Structure 1
Amino acid sequence: METEAPTNKQGQILGRKGRETRARLMEATRLLLRTCSPVELTAVGIAAEAGTSPASFYMYFDDPKDVLFALGEEAGRDLAKLRKIFEEPWYRDKLERQAGAMIEGLNAVWARHRPALRFRNTEASRGDKRFEALRMNTFTPFIRDFAECILSVNPARGARKRADAFAEASILHGAMEHLAATSPDATDRYLGAKHVNRQLARIMALVIRGEAEADALGREAPADETIKPARVATRRLRASVANGTASPAMESAIKPLRKARPQRNVSPAG
């Protein structure tokens, strides 16, 4: 994807050749990021990978960090395209599927731009105002659209405020971005990306539906399951030990419970 830059560092308007050279330097940086950290990048190394000179590099960028900023801008344009998902109505009975589609879309953009986006977020967290603005320019419109989507399903009424939906959108976006930033290889070594994303979509659907519906679902459960979950779990554990189906670990867990059980006072036979 070609990034538009009207002028070079000397203020000259870029022609076709200039735009091609700048794009080639950015592509060279992307290739280098497959095998090295952003902090290891050098102008000389990028120029060599692009097949040009260091002097040519400085015609278009101040330093490697400047190239990473340009790559972050490019990633931001791809992220902005995800907001199209909010142009369609969201339905209560399809929330999990629609949330799953949004997660997949965000993951796909991160897969294409992960090193640049990670660097963007790191520099923003370190207080670099330029990278902070770059992140917020993507973050703010997405959160606004996402919050309006949540409000279309779960409107602000009674104690619920519009600000609640914006907070929910921010938290859910943070969870999506954190998981998208994680290498899929790392996720697959544990639970697996598909399983994690499926559960994240389920949690998002529950949040978007709202407290009223979650409370209604809770009231449908048996009283002791809802009000006294610890007591129910203990009763089931003791039953497993009694009928011989408990594992050694369960046997170990029940011992403290046996000691804690109050003993009845039995009067000696007269």
Structure 2
Amino acid sequence: MRKTNQDGQAIGRKGAESRARLLVAARHLITATPTETLTASAIAREAGLASQTFYLYFKGVDEALLCLSRKASEDTGEIVAELDRPWDSGQLRHHAECVVSAFYRYWDRHRAILNIRNFRADGGQDSFVEVRNASAVPIVTKIAARIRAAHGETALSEREAMSRAIIIFSAIERMAARYAYLPGWRSFVDSEDLKRAEAEILTLLISPGRAI
């Protein structure tokens, strides 16, 4: 968290509380308000603060959204823990399912702001790209290490393992982000079908001797 406000003054306890209230209000509003219509005054009003108070702590709405994106992006501990724990070679499907389920829970906790983060990142806003990558790269790297360890360094280069990890990460993220919105597909599959399919693909990638 930044230590000074926009006027360069140190943020004390009351200032930190006001800033936190504004972020809570912004998080609440983005679940029901289109981002393009979100305003500083609406956030301040939701927080029960004066409009000018918002600009004491944030340059604009985008900075508040970036702060929320950064906080959400740091909450990947459960996913990382699943990838770091020792895996039983006879239970690879179970471990893959745990990783996928942790990913979905992460998205369920932060769906609104993560969708905004990714939309801004895809649109080329560098600050959101940086936040997104800081969250994704450690996970992708750990998946790649699992893939390469399963097949051997002589069979699969680091770049090849990373490429496969990026593809499976992107697929899981996309489905976790949008599984509640499957127009035209709901008569065929639901979110549990998608999770099982993703776990099966991840299992194939991390299974020794399997075609990749």
Normalising by structure 1, report the TM-score: 0.72
- The answer to whether residue 131 in structure 2 is matched with residue 126 in structure 1 is no
User: Which AA in structure 2 matches 1:146?
Assistant: I
| C-alpha distance after superposition, 1:44-96 (max 9, x if no partner) | 10100000011100011111111110110011110255212222123332222
CA distance in 1: counterparts of 2:162 and 2:24, whole angstroms: 36
Structure 1 runs (4+) deviating above 4 angstroms are none
> Where do residues 82-231 of structure 1 align in structure 2 (5 Å cutoff)?
82-158=79-155, 160-184=156-180, 186=182, 189-190=186-187, 191-209=189-207, 212-214=209-211
1:8-87 matched pairs, under 5 angstroms? 8-87=5-84
Which protein is bigger by CA-based radius of gyration? Answer: 1
Question: Deviation at 1:185?
Answer: 5.3
TM-superposed CA distance for 1:214, in Å, is: 3.5
Check the 8 A contact 2:145/2:161 in 1, yes or no. yes
* 2:157 maps to amino acid: K
Q: CA deviation at 1:15?
A: 1.5
Give the counterpart letter for 1:52 in structure 2: L
Which amino acid letter does the alignment assign opposite residue 199 of structure 2? A
% same residue: 30
Task: Name the amino acid aligned to 2:115.
Answer: R
Q: Which structure 2 residue ranges, 5 or more long, are not aligned?
A: none
CA RMSD of aligned residues (A): 1.9
Q: Distance in 2 between matches of 1:183 and 1:70?
A: 26
TM-score (norm 2): 0.91
TM-fit CA distance, 1:198: 0.9
Higher relative contact order (CA 8 A, sep 6+): 2
Aligned residues: 210
The residue that corresponds to 1:264 in the other structure is: none
* 2:150–2:206 contact (8 Å) kept in structure 1: yes
Q: Which runs of 5+ in 1 are unaligned?
A: 216-270
Shift of 1:183: 4.6
